[in-house]
Structure 1
């Protein structure tokens, strides 16, 4: 599948630190970048907490320009060492605690990783950026890319216009509040110090390597196992779904063409109600040439008590990135969901080991009611 990335043919190779590069979006980004720019240096830093999985990058091991480091973004000494010893000029910052349900149960980790961790990276990159300014020619174009979420904008009513880059922040969960805090820090470091930071706020991603706790992989896996498909509340919550490959293509364009100090919203133009999304996944599974424990799969749909503070609707207006940088999504939700279902059907050896006792205990705590 060809994503619409338009980058000038003459470019200077980049040397990137990708935080959270063993997670869902981060790993897809690393694959995208390594495939497109094999001469660039990529160093992945990941703490390998429950959602980070080094197996997501196993096919890159042994590449000359790729390195994996297990570590925490709050470890300033480690960040400094990597920035200088690897001579890095770009940070693509994906590392984050990102699941709303987990933030409701234990918000402390979200503040530590998303706020304190981002601050640590900014301070380290500021020092590195100052060194680059003193020691290199103007051909160096350092970038600190901060990958954030549309959830910082809060919730939309059914008829409200979609979020733009100027929508006031109104986070409604500990997760979105922590991401809003990190966004503000990134913005402040541009305006205070001139640090070349860029913020992106994306809609809900889906695709390969998605940890089983999230909606789409949860439904796919539970259908294959014949388990109930828990749908919060009345199932009418709306999300704008963005295929992860499209997201990576957008981030590629932002790194190469984005303006420091700017924010770009990245959306899929695919608003879907949760219940309709689950029903579509059931239909795709029913159509697959496999034996299912329960068929039709929609008999597994089970409505459960709504999530605390559950936002009703998210929607992204991605006009700015389209008009200024030339990016727009290329994958429809129907095409993307079909590809995603096929990936989970063909990769049981990836997701089955993730259904650990710790995950099962978490699952029961969230959905037992």
Structure 2
């Protein structure tokens, strides 16, 4: 059988492992930060009708620039963030936020360029960076998973990267960045600054969005997704807000007709029913905060979270705890710093199952 060793694979890809969280058939899957609340019957019907409306045109290419979808996304962001004044010319969409990130790296990175991030953070940032031929620089987060503005500025000034990745709320820690830290980086960054806000809708009320900084910073890009709060992970729709010139740059590297007619129709329908889809966000926030309090009461360390997941620890052998939970039908994520685990926030039933399983797992580890 032919193996990778027999193929003329790029040298920098040899030895790499493909990205992916475990996909196991378990009663309680709490490892990929999905919204646990599925579409209602009413929305399922609306989604089906939207797909039927475009089904008869699938012999034709879709709107190459997804203008109507971008208009809807701009309207949503304007409503979500007071003071935002976005138009379709300042919004771009692609197949999940990962394709958005890939397009950014294709446009502003590549051979001879560098991207800098502060880990632990979203593991796809360095992966997509490397695949694009861009050099990755890890500047590290603080011990509490925050980011001191002075230290962040020093890292940017030292390395002079073409792209800086900031993640708020951060994955896998859940911690959010103050605008002061983002602004400090923007003042000294020589290239593009990408603020990944995939979990922004789950942030606490006092946590601002970097969207409010767009007008003053033409090299700022804020990325979002419909996979999390919108409960549309299967749709694969990510998007960004930036200056119109940034969108023009991405047009140079996007694949032709990259968003299918079905994807565009489903995403627009979801946005039209945004009030329903986002209706579970507040419940998930409450579940998250209750979970943080419970974990701390159990004597565990917990990172402050503005997302729909919680990072907790610390364990001498986190794999043992992870396996003990899995044995009880609860799948969480073994990710981030070596002694920590991450659990997605689910329904009350799922959280009760997690608490019961973790209580037993901790007793076993004593």
TM class by shorter chain equals: 0.3 to 0.5
TM-score norm. by structure 1 comes to 0.36
Q: Which protein has greater RCO, CA pairs closer than 8 Å, 6+ apart?
A: 2
TM-score norm. by structure 2 comes to 0.36
